[in-house]
């Protein structure tokens, strides 16, 4: 019993360090980029998006290196489901979100294209090293596209103004210090979290996939939750939704691609029968709510409640699926 208590404590400590480390990493990286003259919109689309996905990336990397690919796959898909249903659901319940950014309108199709590519690669039940390299190549193309998207704006995007207000103004030395501290903390916390999660999974008699879809996915999505809630309270709704869309794209390309490139992944049947369809369904729901076909998109409290309910329903579905 002492080991399970230690494992549970390591999960809690790992989550706390992940949240703090991700915050320090984004703080340092975005300030460094600003001091180098990078525009706030490009910083937001790339560095902030990558930073909020850094916990998932490093946890999946650690899981793959430890020989637990199910945890990596569950973390990738579970985080996407959690980001839309739980993070945006809670955020909209606290403060309704009105979306004005034209940049976000262009990110929706990219998000669906990435989901389709990931689904096609996973349809045979395996993610090979080649599949992983394809996803990682897609990550490079996505970052290139986002940089060009930021450079080609003919007018100031509302999201650029919001990012400009959030990027810290500190010296380059201080920014680099926090960047390195954040990265080191993320690496350490990922190892602590993976160790504890694997032990808890063995104690409960459930698969690594299920732990990745639930406990680990919720924990690694805490940076997105904190960032989205704070952005909504500061009347910066475009950042709140942009963080989730960007994180979900990074999750599918990097969090799923990196462990596959390290070692081929055998996918559980539930990934294709349950998790991918649920993620795609939630993404369609988000698009319908937030795109704004004739006016600004808006996720009100009722829709936030529906998203949150959808997350509870997913947990119930997961519970009954693993019992059968």
DSSP string, 285-315: HHHHHHS-SSS-EEE-HHHHHHHHHHHHHHH
What is the pLDDT at residue 129? 93
Which residue in 143, 145, 147 sits closest to 38, CA to CA? 147
3-state secondary structure of 153: coil
**Which string of DSSP letters, residue by residue, matches 180-247?**
HHHHHHHHHHHHHHHHHHHHHHHHHT--HHHHIIIIIHHHHTHHHHHHHHHHHHTT-HHHHHHHHHHH
What is the pLDDT at residue 157? 64
What is the pLDDT at residue 68? 80
What is the pLDDT at residue 106? 76
Q: CA 8, 189, 201, 49 torsion: positive or negative?
A: positive
The average confidence (pLDDT) of the chain is 84
What is the pLDDT at residue 1? 57
Residue stretches of the chain with pLDDT short of 50 = none
Domains in the chain: boundaries: 2-323
Q: Other C-beta atoms within 10 Å of 218: how many?
A: 18
Pairing of strands 126-127, 265-266: antiparallel
Determine the Cα–Cα distance for residues 267 and 62; give it in Å rounded to an integer: 18
CATH number of 2-323: 1.20.1420.30
What is the pLDDT at residue 294? 58
What is the pLDDT at residue 295? 65
What is the pLDDT at residue 72? 87
Which residue in 297, 317, 281, 300 sits closest to 80, CA to CA? 281
**pLDDT tens digit string along 217-235?**
888 888 778 878 877 787 7
Determine the Cα–Cα distance for residues 182 and 50; give it in Å rounded to an integer: 13
Q: List Cβ neighbours of 319 (8 Å cut-off, separation of 6 or more).
A: none
What is the pLDDT at residue 109? 87
């Amino acid at each position: 019993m002492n080991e399970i208590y230690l494992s549970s404590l390591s999960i809690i400590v790992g989550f706390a360090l992940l949240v703090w480390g991700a915050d320090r990493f984004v703080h340092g990286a975005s300030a460094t980029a600003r001091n180098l003259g990078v525009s706030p919109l490009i910083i937001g689309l790339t560095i902030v998006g990558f930073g909020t996905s850094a916990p998932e990336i490093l946890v999946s990397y650690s899981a793959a290196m430890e020989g637990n690919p199910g945890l990596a796959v569950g973390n990738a898909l579970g985080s996407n489901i959690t980001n839309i249903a739980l993070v945006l659901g809670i955020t909209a319940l606290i403060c309704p979100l009105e979306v004005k950014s034209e940049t976000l309108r262009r990110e929706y199709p990219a998000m669906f294209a990435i989901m389709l590519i990931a689904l096609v690669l996973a349809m045979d039940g395996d993610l090979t090293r080649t599949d992983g390299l394809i996803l990682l190549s897609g990550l490079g193309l996505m970052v290139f596209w986002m940089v060009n998207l930021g450079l080609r704006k003919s007018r100031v995007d509302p999201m650029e103004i919001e990012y400009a207000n959030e990027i810290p103004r500190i010296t380059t030395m201080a920014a680099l210090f926090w960047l390195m501290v954040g990265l080191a903390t993320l690496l350490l916390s990922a190892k602590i979290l993976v160790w504890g999660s694997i032990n808890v999974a063995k104690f409960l008699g459930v698969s690594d996939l299920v732990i990745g879809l639930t406990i680990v996915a919720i924990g690694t999505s805490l940076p997105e939750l904190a960032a989205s809630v704070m952005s909504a309270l500061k009347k910066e709704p475009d950042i709140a939704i942009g963080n989730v869309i960007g994180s979900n794209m990074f999750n599918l390309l990097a969090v799923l691609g990196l462990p596959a490139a390290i070692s081929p992944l055998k996918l559980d049947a539930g990934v294709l029968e349950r998790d991918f369809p649920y993620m795609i369904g939630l993404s369609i729901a988000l698009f319908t709510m937030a795109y704004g076909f004739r006016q600004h998109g808006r996720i009100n409290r009722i829709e936030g409640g529906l998203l949150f309910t959808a997350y509870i329903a997913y947990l119930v579905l997961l519970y009954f699926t693993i019992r059968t």
